[in-house]
Chains A and B, each alone.
Chain A
Amino acid sequence: MNPSRQFLHCWSASFGGFALLLTVLLAFPVSAQETHTEEAVKAAYLYRFGTYVDWPKESASGDLFVIAVVGAPGVARELRHMLPGRLINNQPVQVREVTRAQEVAGAQMLYVGANNADFLRALSPAGNAATLIVTDEERGLDLGGALNFVTVDKRVRFEVSLTAAERARVKISADLLSVAIRVRGGRRQTNEICVPFSLPDEGDTPCGIRQARLMRRQPEIRVAT
């Protein structure tokens, strides 16, 4: 056989092998589909937060629910992709990318991406508008965030400041609080974390009293069974 052909053969065989290897390697992202990008997960969180939070009636700015996004184009892109056809607070959602604190006015939710502490500091004087601030900083809650993303062990979690939520005059549901990695401050109201979660909702009755009632009920339950 012609040595050059043999060489060619060898080469094409090894090329085929290499192509196969490359394809297998490139295929890994396919098998790794179960892991998502951080941006996509955060966008999904923002949408979900919207469904677990009650905004005051007067905050409805026209017919739209506005989510302002600062310094996180990836999250804004994912939100725009995800939100058409979905409602938050019974309103269609608009995503608005902003760069200055003044532009936040009228937004019900504000997401400030990582490394924008200066933006948060500039914002806080006007921080009593009914805007739920979601941050992504190590000290996000100290900087005025009501919700703050914390990435632990490759999972995006979040923490809550009830004080900031109260300042924004929004009510955060117990279901949201029960998933939070920690809940800080605030006068605990009816929708606070009250363990166990199955405790009956008794309007404004504080958690401790509800728990005490449950404790007192325990013997009765035992007698009954």
Chain B
Amino acid sequence: MARRPMTRAGFGARGAMQLLGRKLIMSTCCALLASVAEAQGTSPSDDLSRLSLQELSNLEVTSVSKAPEGLQRAPASIYVITHEDIMRSGATSLMEALRLAPNLLVTQVSAAGYTISARGFGGNPQAQNFSNKLLMLIDGRSVYTPLYSGIYSDAQDVLLEDVDRIEVISGPGATLWGANAMNGVVNVITRPSYLTQGSFVDASAGNQEQNLNVRYGGRSGGDLSYRAYGLGFHRAAEVLPDGGSAQDGWTKAQGGFRSDWSTDQNSATLQGDLYRAAEQEFMSTDGSIAGANVLSRYQHHTAHSEFQVQGYFDQTQRFGPESGGGGGFVLHTYDLHIQQSIEAGAYQRIVWGGGERLNRYAITNQMELLFEPERRNLTLGDAFVQDTVSLAPTLNLTAGVKMEDDPYSGWTPLPDGRLSWQLSAHAALWAAASKAIRSPTPFDDDVIEKGGTTVFLTGNRLFRPEEVTAYETGTRLDLPSALSASLAVFYNNYDDLRTIEPSAGGLPLFWGNLMKGDTYGAEGWANWQIVDWWRLSPGITVLREQLRFKPGASGILGIAQAADDPSSHADLTSSMQLGRAVTLDATLRYVGALPDPALPHYVELNGRIGWQAADSVDLSINALNLLHARHYEFAPSQGGEAIVRSVMAEARWRF
């Protein structure tokens, strides 16, 4: 009885406070909304027109990231990872940055090992099938190894600060880029040196990695600019299924330069890199990789034509641990190509070119893995022409063919036809049909694998290229204010995929071309700028594979040997600008289950909280694989290790 008034009084007071609180909230809401409305109603351009050029050039702008001309309208499935995307992703390596492309599947196998694939065929290492249907170029230099076909992920580092963009093209690109651009092409493009002026220091440290990046850019006169950079890192070992360390930590040091010279109609670029890394091996001494490259490009351009000569030299070597037999290789690549594009009249654009590549390699054979011959010179010639014709103001037809003279299989035509239809300023449709191959390598032709003294597998001098005929169609929307989206569907018909066949007496086995099949699927993504400080970017890829053996095939290792791909993967990126100085970015990714060898699906998160502490200083906390202490991306039976959550603090200083 006595408590009741108290309660009442207490309740009353609380009620009044709540009322007051709600009123306060309401009025704050109204005031803030009004100020938002006001801010949006009055354009700030009044103030801007009073600013000097110098002041304008120091203003930060909000912008919807956009791809350069040509890419936005290209009749192909292209995703562009921008510089800004990379800087805000928390990625500290090229491979982690590639996770931003929804049409690419990036799989971390070990501390230094990643595989990347598009539209399937991510490989099955147990069956000695690697992810070998995707081509990658860094500033026009192919980093696809001609020895076994595939990409050595640990040899491909760039200073991410200097990367302008990464173009990820899913679907064949053989007519322009040549063999092995079978399911896709990744083009890493660094900024010209006149855009990377001044000093840059970037240090980060966390539980799994420590990185130090430095760069200095300068210019000499108005026409010549240059930069030099150095990077070094240590990445800690991942974990084995039994919980013990995989002992595969690695340390790398790399340096390089780029200089650009340009006048009215001519420009020239000279760039190079040099690197060395030591990689721990399980219960063994360290393996080592080292390499160097230098590339030179000259361009002459007028309003209606552009001529380019590009040459490069690339040296790559890698050696396994002494205790593991000490096998390895040294590979020298010399490449010279010319290309010209001409606007022929108002309705035609012709691109033609050609060149020659020489691969000289020397393999150090091991007891049980030999190549015969172990050193060889492989020359690869090619010539191509592609014509884009305007059939109507909004309808373009592109047709082209590359003739490639492969050292193993001779001349192969790689044709491509594309149609694009610009429905309006904001929507386009495209369709394409093309053919591409994965060309044979020493690993297909010259390999000898032994168990003790018994030869159990040999290469096949009659091994044919793996072929694909691809049909794809897509649409691209680019609404002026806030939304852009892309959707593509594809149907690929593969033939002559590699199999393992027995010889007359059973052993040795040898490589055959007795698998074929179809894949089909869809990939789509969108960029939605919800408000000017918040962008959401979802992306998804679905894939179905129907592979089968051809008549006469042994069927050894089953069709699973060709690939172990998830039937879908998806990601969602949220990018927030919280006030002037704080950014919050996160990419949630889902990768579906792997069928055979089986691995459950996984969900992981990469992200970054950044704080621009001063004009020239960015501080951030980055996280890779934040959701689980450990997770698998590749089956342990395939060499997949448990990938450890990585959290680090990073400071970037530009001056």
Given contacts A13-B18, A121-B303, A154-B60, are A37 and B33 in contact (CB under 8 A)? no
A104–chain B nearest beta-carbon distance, Å: 15
Tell me, yes or no, whether A175 is within 8 Å of chain B by CB: yes
Contact with A along B249-273 (1 / 0, CB 8 A): 0000000000000111000000000
Whether B578 lies near A28 (C-beta < 8 A) is yes
Given contacts A23-B32, A29-B531, A185-B264, are A117 and B62 in contact (CB under 8 A)? no
Tell me, yes or no, whether B343 is within 8 Å of chain A by CB: yes
Whether A156 lies near B35 (C-beta < 8 A) is no
Given contacts A151-B63, A156-B59, are A34 and B531 in contact (CB under 8 A)? no
B226–chain A nearest beta-carbon distance, Å: 13
Tell me, yes or no, whether A98 is within 8 Å of chain B by CB: no
23 A-B residue pairs with CB within 8 Å: A20-B28, A24-B32, A27-B32, A29-B39, A32-B577, A33-B44, A35-B62, A37-B62, A43-B45, A45-B56, A48-B49, A78-B45, A81-B43, A82-B46, A121-B304, A121-B343, A137-B68, A138-B68, A154-B61, A156-B61, A181-B195, A182-B262, A184-B264
Report which A residues bind B (CB closer than 8 A): 9, 12-13, 16, 19-20, 23-24, 26-38, 40-41, 43-45, 47-48, 52, 73-74, 78, 81-83, 86, 114-117, 120-122, 124, 127, 137-139, 142-144, 150-158, 161, 163, 175-176, 179, 181-186, 193
Whether B22 lies near A32 (C-beta < 8 A) is no
Closest to A124 in B: B303
Residues of B within 8 A of A43 (CB): 45, 48
Tell me, yes or no, whether B223 is within 8 Å of chain A by CB: yes
Whether A41 lies near B48 (C-beta < 8 A) is yes
Closest to B39 in A: A30
Residues of A within 8 A of B533 (CB): 28-29, 32
Tell me, yes or no, whether B454 is within 8 Å of chain A by CB: no
- Which of B29, B40, B59, B69 lies in contact with A19, CB distance below 8 A? B29
Residues of A within 8 A of B139 (CB): none
Whether A182 lies near B225 (C-beta < 8 A) is yes
Given contacts A13-B18, A29-B36, are A181 and B45 in contact (CB under 8 A)? no
Tell me, yes or no, whether B579 is within 8 Å of chain A by CB: yes
Whether A163 lies near B264 (C-beta < 8 A) is yes
Given contacts A27-B32, A36-B62, A44-B45, are A184 and B579 in contact (CB under 8 A)? no
> Top 3 closest A-B pairs, CB basis?
A185-B264, A44-B48, A38-B63
Closest to A175 in B: B53
Whether B577 lies near A28 (C-beta < 8 A) is yes
A140–chain B nearest beta-carbon distance, Å: 10
Whether A184 lies near B223 (C-beta < 8 A) is yes
Report which B residues bind A (CB closer than 8 A): 18, 21-22, 25-26, 28-29, 32-33, 35-36, 39-40, 43-46, 48-49, 51-54, 56-63, 66, 68-70, 72-73, 83-84, 191, 194-195, 219, 222-223, 225, 262-264, 301-304, 306, 343, 346, 480, 531-533, 577-580, 654
User: Considering the chains assembled together, what is the distance between the CA atoms of A35 and B59 in angstroms?
Assistant: 7
Whether A184 lies near B303 (C-beta < 8 A) is no
Closest to B50 in A: A44
Knowing that A28-B577, A30-B32, A154-B63 are A-B contacts, what are 4 other residue pairs whose CB atoms are under 8 Å apart, sorted by A's residue number?
A32-B579, A37-B61, A117-B70, A121-B304
Residues of A within 8 A of B25 (CB): 16, 19-20, 23
User: Considering the chains assembled together, what is the distance between the CA atoms of A142 and B33 in angstroms?
Assistant: 46
Chain B interface SS verdict (over half) = mixed
Residues of B within 8 A of A193 (CB): 222
User: Considering the chains assembled together, what is the distance between the CA atoms of A81 and B47 in angstroms?
Assistant: 11
A69–chain B nearest beta-carbon distance, Å: 14
Whether B73 lies near A115 (C-beta < 8 A) is yes
User: Considering the chains assembled together, what is the distance between the CA atoms of A163 and B264 in angstroms?
Assistant: 7
Whether B223 lies near A37 (C-beta < 8 A) is no
Closest to A13 in B: B18
Closest to A186 in B: B264
Residues of B within 8 A of A186 (CB): 264
Whether B32 lies near A41 (C-beta < 8 A) is no
Residues of A within 8 A of B28 (CB): 20, 23
User: Considering the chains assembled together, what is the distance between the CA atoms of A68 and B48 in angstroms?
Assistant: 20
User: Considering the chains assembled together, what is the distance between the CA atoms of A29 and B301 in angstroms?
Assistant: 43
Residues of B within 8 A of A16 (CB): 21-22, 25
Whether A31 lies near B580 (C-beta < 8 A) is yes
Whether A114 lies near B66 (C-beta < 8 A) is yes
- Which of B26, B36, B48, B225 lies in contact with A82, CB distance below 8 A? B48
A48–chain B nearest beta-carbon distance, Å: 5
Whether A78 lies near B43 (C-beta < 8 A) is yes
Whether B33 lies near A155 (C-beta < 8 A) is no
Closest to B532 in A: A29
User: Considering the chains assembled together, what is the distance between the CA atoms of A190 and B48 in angstroms?
Assistant: 29
Whether A36 lies near B59 (C-beta < 8 A) is yes
Given contacts A12-B22, A122-B346, are A32 and B303 in contact (CB under 8 A)? no
Residues of B within 8 A of A114 (CB): 66, 69
Residues of A within 8 A of B72 (CB): 115
Closest to B11 in A: A1
Closest to A176 in B: B53
- Which of A26, A36, A124, A142 lies in contact with B61, CB distance below 8 A? A36
User: Considering the chains assembled together, what is the distance between the CA atoms of A127 and B303 in angstroms?
Assistant: 11
Residues of A within 8 A of B579 (CB): 28, 31-32
Residues of B within 8 A of A52 (CB): 53
User: Considering the chains assembled together, what is the distance between the CA atoms of A127 and B135 in angstroms?
Assistant: 41
Whether A184 lies near B304 (C-beta < 8 A) is no
